[in-house]
Amino acid sequence: MPPPATPPGQAPESGEQPESAVRTTRRRLLANTGALLLGAAAVGLGFADARSKTTGGAGPRDRLHMLVPAAPGGGWDTVAREVQAVAQEHALTDTIEVLNVPGAAGTIGLARLINQVGRGDTLMMTGTVMMGGIETTGSPNTLRDATPIARLADDYAVLAVPADSPAERVEDLLDAWRADTAGVVVGGGSVGGTDHLLAGMLSGSAGAQASELNYIPYAGGGEAVAGALNGSLDAIVSGYTELSEQLKTGQLRALGISAPQRIPEIDIAPFREHGVDVELANWRGLFAPPGLDPEQRAELEQLTTEIHDTPEWQDTLTTNIWQDTFQIGDEFEGFVDTETSRIQRISRELGLS
């Protein structure tokens, strides 16, 4: 195994894949100019307009503010722009503004959302990566403090090795972790992000101490792929879209995917088919501020349901190979509670909190 690589730089705070990894739909290209203008307006105005109205004022059908707790171009931003485009195309809301609030693994945006108590015209796009970010930053706020509205979609991470790696199966890499945990160099996205969590879960399933994991965070999926191809890494964990070209050309070999079952568009066996009980979704969803009354929450759930049910949203899921895991209400709230506890446990095992 090669010696540990020097971390190549600061990984993105959101840990989300760059937009280059997300397939652009024709609809989003057509809506892009308007989306950027609205986003710029939101940055300039902040949430002053939202705060100027009373809680009983204009609702999400008049003007919806969507907070993205990361810089433009990442995974959360991409999903938010798709939601924006569908809502505008079907006139589900008069205006939908996207506000990017990056920083501290998304927790600055979360704090902003928590402060919008009772705002029924505000949503935040987030997902698995924020749960890890909450642990790594020691944020006093968690997603349990917000109002869960809808789980929109999931994608999954792939564990892969260079073509010349002696690891032919996931069991081979687990054996290497058992023999010398720190001697196996694995790379992926940001510290505490989905890739890091999955690597910790896999090494932990081998009986290794997760805190000894030799994990190298990269600023983007392309840099991590380069590290795997130039010999800096023994293994890489990343979303399928980031690795698909190298997997197709044979430069990388997939050992497994973190999905609960096989995905028809992706010919990679889940870890469970290898006898490894590890599953982790990179889910994306929408949250509202705390303090909503039942009518406000129901209106936001209805709006997101209408977006989900459009042919354009279903096309977006297919184009990006996102899995349709739509949930609202008690079902989504229960998922968030369970997943929060699980990510907290994994983060502690990795020494991140």
User: Which pLDDT tens digit goes with each residue over 285-339?
Assistant: 999 999 999 999 999 999 999 999 999 999 999 999 999 999 999 999 999 999 9
Q: How far is CA 170 from the centre of its chain?
A: 24
Same domain, 29 and 149: yes
At residue 15, the pLDDT reads 44
Instruction: Using alpha carbons, select from 36, 83, 15, 50 the residue that is nearest to residue 289.
Output: 50
Give yes or no for a contact between 241 and 321, defined as CB atoms under 8 angstroms apart.
Answer: yes
pLDDT per residue as tens digits for the range 159-213: 999 999 999 999 999 999 999 999 999 999 999 999 999 999 999 999 999 889 9
Domain of 192, in residue numbers: 156-274
Work out the mean pLDDT of the chain and round it to a whole number: 88
Structural domain count, the chain: 2
Lowest mean per-residue pLDDT among 31-40, 164-173, 274-283: 31-40
Same domain, 120 and 200: no
- The pLDDT-based confidence of 50 (bands split at 50, 70, 90) is very low
In a domain, 5, yes or no: no
Q: Is the pLDDT of residue 38 over 50?
A: no
Same domain, 141 and 213: no
Angstrom CA distances, 184 to 21, 48, 178, 291, 320, stand at: 26, 50, 10, 47, 31
Please spell the DSSP secondary structure of 27-84, one letter per residue. Answer: HHHHHHHHHHHHHHHHHHHTTHHHHHS-TTS--TTTEEEEEESS-TTSHHHHHHHHHH
Same domain, 160 and 255: yes
Q: Count other C-beta atoms under 10 Å from residue 88's C-beta.
A: 18
- The pLDDT-based confidence of 16 (bands split at 50, 70, 90) is low
Same domain, 150 and 160: no
In a domain, 294, yes or no: yes
Same domain, 318 and 344: yes
Give yes or no for a contact between 258 and 279, defined as CB atoms under 8 angstroms apart.
Answer: yes
pLDDT per residue as tens digits for the range 68-112: 999 999 899 999 999 999 999 999 999 999 999 999 999 999 999
In this structure, the strands spanning 147-162 and 252-257 are antiparallel
Q: Is the pLDDT of residue 53 over 60?
A: no
Same domain, 148 and 162: no
Instruction: Using alpha carbons, select from 159, 348, 164, 341 the residue that is nearest to residue 240.
Output: 159
303 vs 65: CA distance, rounded Å: 13
Same domain, 213 and 179: yes
